[in-house]
Amino acid sequence: MARQTGKNHAPHLVIKRIKGKGRGVFAGRPIAKDEIIERVPMLVIPKKEFDEHLGSTILYKYCFDWRKDSVALALGYGSLYNHSFGPNALYEDVGPQLKVFIALRDIRPGEEITINYNGRPRGRKSVEFSVIP
């Protein structure tokens, strides 16, 4: 049996529960503008398989659209970043199954790290759920 060390893969990040939002990712230390916050592998799932087997599960809330005819679950904390139309971070796809999260500005310790689910930091296209401004 594997022994737990009590350390997480990204010690500069903290996961907290947020009333009305569920969980979110917070800065555990200052994060500088343009700093890579986290690199996460993506578990890519064919869209048809997702729709048939997983689309009605809780995983639906945590997957990203990914390339043509597929969705992906971001590992690490990648699927826990909350949406904002005024985010302090962005994400970029940097490989066939890799995503990075990057600070758009300096982020203070204790501040929630948010991304725009549209993929563009200032994109105003609606998302499939109500958002807290």
Domains plus CATH for the chain?
13-115 (2.170.270.10)
pLDDT in tens, the chain (133 residues): 545 455 667 889 999 998 887 899 999 999 999 999 999 999 998 988 888 887 777 777 778 777 788 888 889 999 899 989 899 999 998 888 999 999 999 999 999 999 998 766 665 555 554 444 3
The H or E element that residue 112 is part of is strand 112-115
> What sign results for the dihedral spanned by CA atoms 133, 14, 44, 95?
positive
Q: What is the distance between the alpha carbons of residues 65 and 124, in angstroms, rounded to a whole number?
A: 17
Residue 16 CB partners (closer than 8 Å, separation 6+):
23, 24, 26, 112
Residue 129: predicted pLDDT: 45
